[in-house]
Structure 1
């Protein structure tokens, strides 16, 4: 059965938009997903689902979250193959020695080449950001809060949902997605 990583954007931060992970597991199970597991309190879940697509999983989960919590919560869904490819393509393996400071900014969609060229997100942090397939890698050696805010720029200029996860979480998601 195919598995998907379901990444909720902007929950449980600063006491806002609280979604307890036990409730998230119940909600996802109630939607018919199998083998539902969560990681940390920041909106990381892995679900099993047959005969569906990431887009359908996204729509189903976003609709249920809005119904349950009364607020729109954006979701990015990625497959095991996508997570594996993101890990394999890691462009900063030679310098990124702290998984909590290496970020993967997951994108809900692939922007057009014209949009990427017009609004060059990598130019915000040219030595430490790289564009991948539905992801932007950003190495933040001085910490995420001191790094240029590539995620907000991309969300605003590219018109996609962006949700960041540190490398420790990315590799944990890969483990959870494994058979």
Structure 2
């Protein structure tokens, strides 16, 4: 049975978008899917399910999450191999500062990728690899010229994780 990793967008931000790990697990298990695990309370979940289409998995999760949480929860699904590839891309960039990854729901068109990457500066660099945007920043995410909001405006629905979390998930779930 295939294993998937889901990244939930915009949960546990403020008082109205609370969606604790135990309720995420209940929603995924409610679909009949197995070996459900979460990592920290920012919407990272691993599970096995019989579906083989990423779009079908995302749609089923989004419906289950809407029912359980009471609000829309955009969800981006990757395979363990895809997440490993993202971590390998990050290592190839060799950036030692603040490094974030925005996971994209859909693969963006080349002209949109080019336009985003052209917004790079000495203090904020964007590199797109398939459905992952690497944001390599200087001092801080706050006030950076390239953020997940910039990514979403140009490339569509995305959710952001720092590289420390990405590496932890690869170690924990992709070995």
Q: TM-score, normalised by structure 1?
A: 0.87
- Partners of 1:76 and 1:104 in 2: how far apart? 13
Q: TM-score, normalised by structure 2?
A: 0.89
CA RMSD of aligned residues (A): 1.8
Q: How does 1:141-156 map to 2 (within 5 A)?
A: 141-156=138-153
SS at match of 2:77: strand
Match of residue 163, structure 2, among 149, 160, 167 = 167
What displacement does 1:89 show? Answer: 1.4
Aligned to 1:92: 93
- Partners of 1:134 and 1:18 in 2: how far apart? 26
- Partners of 2:23 and 2:120 in 1: how far apart? 37
Aligned to 2:116: 121
**Are the structure 2 counterparts of residues 114 and 149 from structure 1 closer, same or farther at C-alpha, using a change threshold of 3 Å?**
closer
What displacement does 1:88 show? Answer: 1.2
Check whether the contact 2:8–2:73 (CA below 8 A) recurs between aligned residues: yes
Aligned to 2:74: 74
Check whether the contact 1:124–1:150 (CA below 8 A) recurs between aligned residues: no
Question: How many residues are paired up?
Answer: 172
- Partners of 1:50 and 1:63 in 2: how far apart? 17
- Partners of 2:51 and 2:44 in 1: how far apart? 22
**Are the structure 2 counterparts of residues 123 and 150 from structure 1 closer, same or farther at C-alpha, using a change threshold of 3 Å?**
farther
Gaps of at least 5 residues in structure 2 are: none
